[in-house]
Amino acid sequence: MTTILGLSGSLRRASFNSGLLRAAREVAPDGVEIVIGSIAEVPLYDGDAEAASGTPPAVQRLNEQLAQADGLLMVTPEYNNGIPGVFKNAIDWMSRGEGLKLFRGKPVAVTGASPGSFGTILSQTHWLQVLRTLNTRQWHEGRLMVSRAGDLFDADGNLTDDKTRQRLAEFVAGFAASLR
């Protein structure tokens, strides 16, 4: 069984990106499990708090999930043409201390959904420098940017568009095949 840790960079209840991640889990090929982690409980990084209390439980959970995963699927929104702060904060926490070793050589794919017409092209590109710094193995064989997401998801953030679901299935299958 191939295991992929999936993280959405949004905290919204009806997030397009969280919906895209749920749909990725649904369309994953046989023999592939996408475990959905959560960044919702990760506090803002504070070196003094880290020195006093160590790694927060939410970050420990994410690092345990990352350690058990064959790959990482990041589903990123795009805020002000860049990376969402809460998502970057979670990755920053996860990569502290011994957590950095978990990223070295870890295969990572990035996708995302946006209500705009360019999908999440700038956010995905912005992640490249972060992932390079963490020494991940970035997967570039496929690219999926979901634009005009308001037309493709329902009010609860569920993907309803069959064409996008098919593109997502191909994206996930391609990433999963690279992990075997």
What are the extents of the domains in the chain?
Answer: 2-178
| Residue 95: Cβ within 10 Å count | 22
pLDDT tens digits, 121-136: 999 999 999 999 999 9
Q: Are 130 and 91 in contact (CB under 8 A)?
A: yes
Q: How far apart are CA 114 and CA 129, in angstroms?
A: 21
pLDDT tens digits, 157-167: 999 999 999 99
Assigned CATH for 2-178: 3.40.50.360
The percent of residues above 70 in pLDDT, for the chain, comes to 100
